[in-house]
Structure 1
Amino acid sequence: MHAMQYEVTLPADYDMDVVRARATGKGPLLDDFPGLGLKAYLMRERGVDGSPVNQYAPFYLWNTPEGMNSFLWGPGFQGLVDDFGRPRVRQWTCLSYEEGVAAGSPALVAVRRRQSVPEGVRLSEVMAEAVREAERLATLEGALCAAAVVDPGAWELLHFSLWEHDTPKAPGEVFQVLYVNAPERDRLPGGRQW
Structure 2
Amino acid sequence: MHVMQYEITLPADYDMEIIRERVATKGPLLDAFPGLGLKAYLIRERGKGSPVNQYAPCYLWAAPEGMNSFLWGPGFQGVVDDFGRPEVQHWTGLSYGEGPSAGALPRTAVRRRERIPPAVRPAEAVEAALEESVRLAAAPGAVAAALAVDPRRWELVHFTLWEQASPEAVGDHYEVLHLSAPERERLARGRQW
Identity of aligned residues (%): 64
- Deviations 1:52-91 (CA, angstroms, capped at 9, x unpaired): 0000000000011110000000001000100000000000
2:139 aligned counterpart, secondary structure: coil
Measured against aligned partners, the alpha-carbon deviations of 1:139-194 in whole angstroms (never above 9, x if no partner) come to 11100000111001111111000000123542111000000000000110010112
- Normalising by structure 2, report the TM-score: 0.98
Cα distance in 2 for residues equivalent to 1:166 and 1:192: 26
> In angstroms, what is the RMSD of aligned CA positions?
0.8
Q: Distance in 2 between matches of 1:148 and 1:181?
A: 19
Q: Separation in 2 of the partners of 1:113 and 1:92? A: 13
Regions of 4+ moved over 6 Å: none
The alignment's TM-score, normalised by the length of structure 1, stands at 0.98
Secondary structure of 1:105's partner? coil
CA distance in 1, matches of 2:64, 2:186: 14
1:22-77: CA deviations, max 9, x gaps? 1111011000000000000000000112x100000000000111100000000010
* TM-fit CA distance, 1:123: 1.1
Q: Distance in 2 between matches of 1:181 and 1:79?
A: 17
Contact 1:95 1:130 in 2 (8 A): no
Letter aligned with residue 144 of structure 2: C
> What is the distance in 2 between the residues matched to 1:73 and 1:61?
17
In the alignment of these two chains, the number of paired residues is 193
How far does the alpha carbon of each residue in 1:99-149 deviate from its partner, in whole angstroms, 9 at most, with x for none?
Answer: 011001011000000111110211111111111111000111100000111
2:31 aligned residue: 31
